[in-house]
Amino acid sequence: MIVTLRQGADPDAVRKELIARGLWVSPLSDGARVAHYVVSPASTAVSAEDLSRIDGVASVAAPPSPHPRVSAQGPVVDVRGVAVGAAARPVFMCGPCAIESEERVFALAAKVSAAGAQMLRGGAYKPRTSPYAFQGHGEVALRWMRRAADTHGLRVVTEALGEGDVGLVAEYADLVQVGSRNMQNFALLKAVGRAGRPVLLKRAMAATVEEWLLAGEYLLSHGAPGVIFCERGIRGFDPSPRNLLDLGSVALLAHVYKLPVVVDPSHATGRRDLVLPLSRAAIGAGAAGVMIETHDDPGCALSDGPQALPPGELRGALDGLRAMARCS
């Protein structure tokens, strides 16, 4: 909210009153008028009327949002009957980094479903740093994945890597993923929006929260029925974990902006022994769910083996996270 002061009012006195009500306050003055930009944390319920009664306040107004559709979206997105964003029921998106073969994806879908996941993840089109690395099996992998998911009552989340893949991916997927390397590929965002499916929008490695939200605005303004934001780690200065999981931004999206946000601890850390601790932290911070890479033979995985959780460990992990979400 923008709190504008009466002429001659003491900005410090008003600032103290705002802070005393538990608000975050930053100055917002343009020379002619003095104002405070005020953000209300989730735990603090204050009304505009309450603020307008503070001595020295002339008016209280909501600033226009630079991403009105994202601001209006609400905290829950429906993915073919699975509500993502209902806090007490976390959503689990599990599966391999890449869809490697028909047999493997069928076997894994059975285990992922038995462990309590609602969605099968996996790439048919893989964004790889090296052009010589495995690029994904393409359309045939989409077909395998869809049939495996349907057989085991799972939704499909998979990435559209380029504009040319969008139509095909949207045919097979319930939730179309935009990868972190493509978060600001605006032509792709427009094409994915036009496909009319809900979207999982991964945060780019060096994107600010505002840039991430504006990428979501591209999707919604071009027709996407809903956007789920996915924090997967930003690039830090220390390569010890693969990336730097920014849980502050997860809490900001979940609690202040009231948006559906999930966390991918697999790409965030690059190592399977940190996936569960960071999944717990993610749920604690307000994530509506987690995306966990799973592989039944991680040593032979065609990509990201070191971060894949064996399915045998998945059930216990998901049970624990569900129990935790119910208590928080």
**Residues within the interface to ligand PEP (CB under 6 A):** 97, 123, 127, 159, 179-181, 202, 232, 264, 267
- Least separation in angstroms between residue 4's CB and Mn ion is 49
Closer to Mn ion by Cβ: residue 97 or 250 = 97
Is 292 an interacting residue with respect to Mn ion (CB under 5 A)? no
Identify what 96 binds: Mn ion, ligand PEP, none; CB under 5 to 8 Å per kind. none
Residue 285, amino acid: A
**Pair 42, 255: CB distance under 8 Å:** yes
Of 125, 124, 120, 123, nearest in space to 155 by CA: 120
184 and 215 Cβ atoms separated by less than 8 Å:
yes
| Residue 179 binding target from ligand PEP, Mn ion, none, CB below 5 to 8 Å by type | ligand PEP
Largest Cα–Cα distance of the chain, in whole Å? 74
* Beta bridge partners of residue 94, listed in sequence order: 120, 292
Q: How many helices (H) and strands (E) does the chain have?
A: 12, 14
Q: From the CB of 317, what's the least distance to ligand PEP, in Å?
A: 18
180: partner contacted, choices Mn ion, ligand PEP, none (Cβ within 5-8 A by kind): ligand PEP
By a kind-dependent CB cut-off of 5 to 8 A, residue 260 interacts, out of Mn ion, ligand PEP, none, with none
Q: Which stretch binds Mn ion (CB under 5 A): 12-20, 180-188, 191-199, 304-312?
A: 304-312
Residues facing 5 on adjacent strands: 57
100 touching Mn ion, by CB under 5 A: no
b/e for 196-220, b at 16 or more Cβ within 10 A? ebbbbbbbbbebebeebbbbbbbbb
Q: Which is nearer to ligand PEP, 118 or 180 (CB)?
A: 180
Q: Which residue is nearest to ligand PEP (CB)?
A: 179
120: enclosing H helix or E strand: strand 119-121
157 lies in the site for Mn ion, by CB under 5 A: no
Of 51 and 308, the one with the shorter C-beta distance to ligand PEP is 308
How far apart are the C-alpha atoms of 93 and 71, rounded to whole Å? Answer: 25
CB 92 within 8 A of CB 129: no
Q: Which does 127 bind (CB under 5 to 8 A by kind): Mn ion, ligand PEP, none?
A: ligand PEP
Residue 19 or 133: the one with the smaller Cβ distance to Mn ion is 133
- The CA distance from 163 to 161, in Å, is 7
Closer CB to ligand PEP, residue 97 or residue 156? Answer: 97
Can residue 97 be called a binding residue for Mn ion (CB under 5 A)?
yes
- Residues in contact with Mn ion by CB under 5 A are 97, 304
